Chain A
Amino acid sequence: MNSEAERELAWQMRRIRLASAARRSSAASRQSLLDKFDAQYPAAARRRWYVPVGIAAALVLSLALLRVPHNAPVPVPVEAVEDAENSDGFIAVPYVPPLAQGELVHVVHTELHPAMLMGLGVNVDPAWETVMPADLLVGEDGFPRAVRISNDDAGGF
């Protein structure tokens, strides 16, 4: 190939290169492919809105949980308190107002003097002078509704 032919070829190649440099597929073709991609990976399409919504929901739930105290009251049916002696070892405390339907109660683990236990209706030896571990079922008004000697340290009873 002589140099003149080389130059001519190189010149024409350059012109073709310039003429085609900016050419590409249409925007419609690109959009069609992206639509196909969304159809191929539907989870990905959903994830575009699902991720931020999911994160927001998780944040709201976390904040709500942080505001709840650790020993949060749990709803206990009144019958459960009334029948406590037969089920969980709780003994109903006499002379206290009854729980309202659906009223929340929580269990407080504490230590009580035998005299205090007797006052709550628990039959203990009056000669015993050591405090005893006990669980109190406390209503929303703060009054104990039931009491039981805790299993944590029942050996001394």
Chain B
Amino acid sequence: MNGRMEGSDEELYRRMKKGDRAAFAELYERREPGIFRYAMHATGSPEAAEEIAHEVFVQLMNPASRFDDTKGNLEGWIFGVARNLIRTHRRRGQPEEPVEQAVTDDLLGNMIYDEKMATLRNAIRELPDNYREAVVLCDLEERNYDEAAQLMGCPIGTVRSRLHRARALLAARLKRLHAGMEAIAL
């Protein structure tokens, strides 16, 4: 888009519901990248992430699934829909294309790809849902605790504790990998 529209997500949503195509396009530009990455980190598949992000916006424009701004903000609602879709995807146990394979398709991916990063990606995917959500929002999407708490629908203290435990699990995983690599080198 050349010109960005002003206004809150909720205002854009109201305009979208009246048939304002530009408002819908602006909401998509604002929220789709975060939803896509969130889904990609959770599923490990760019294809699945695209499907999930697509479905989120289909539901957003669906008259049957009305967002109620008295119950929270629109971004929280969008993340909630994405979370449910991710759970459904994981329950189906669909085969996942490894993200690292997708990353090697581009130059940056080639430069930074290595075993540790691949291991960490897998470890993030294998975290319990609540832990993974905290890691993705705070460490990968760089949301502050307050924003993460709103999106996760829990108190800030809960975000902190989940993040602390998740980081400990991930560090332990990296440590085991490091030890294994040292053993091979010896």
Contacts and interface: CB of A to CB of B under 8 A. Distances in A.
Interface of A: 1, 5-6, 8-9, 12-13, 15-21, 23-26, 29-30, 32-34, 36-38, 40-41, 43-45, 47-48
A12 B61 contact: no
Nearest to A43: B19
Interface centre among B19, B40, B142 (most CB of A within 10 A): B19
Contact of B54 (A18, A29, A41): A29
B132 interface: no
B28 A33 contact: yes
A41 B120 contact: no
Nearest to A20: B37
B140 A16 contact: yes
Contacts of B109: 19
Contacts of B18: 44
B112 A15 contact: yes
Given A25-B36, A29-B54, A17 B24 contact: no
Interface in B138-186: 139-140, 142, 167-168, 170-172, 174-175, 178
Interface of B: 18-21, 24-25, 28, 32-33, 36-37, 40-41, 46, 49-50, 53-54, 57-58, 61-63, 99, 103, 108-109, 112-113, 116-117, 120-121, 124, 139-140, 142, 167-168, 170-172, 174-175, 178
B116 A12 contact: yes
B8 to A, nearest CB: 20
Contacts of B170: 9
A16 B168 CA distance: 18
A41 B109 CA distance: 40
A44 B21 contact: yes
A12 B37 contact: no
Given A16-B140, A17-B140, A29-B53, A24 B36 contact: yes
Most chain A beta-carbon neighbours within 10 Å: one of B46, B53, B171: B171
A25 to B, nearest CB: 5
A32 B53 CA distance: 12
15 contacts: A6-B167, A15-B112, A16-B41, A18-B112, A19-B109, A19-B117, A20-B99, A21-B37, A25-B36, A25-B54, A32-B54, A33-B58, A34-B24, A40-B61, A44-B18
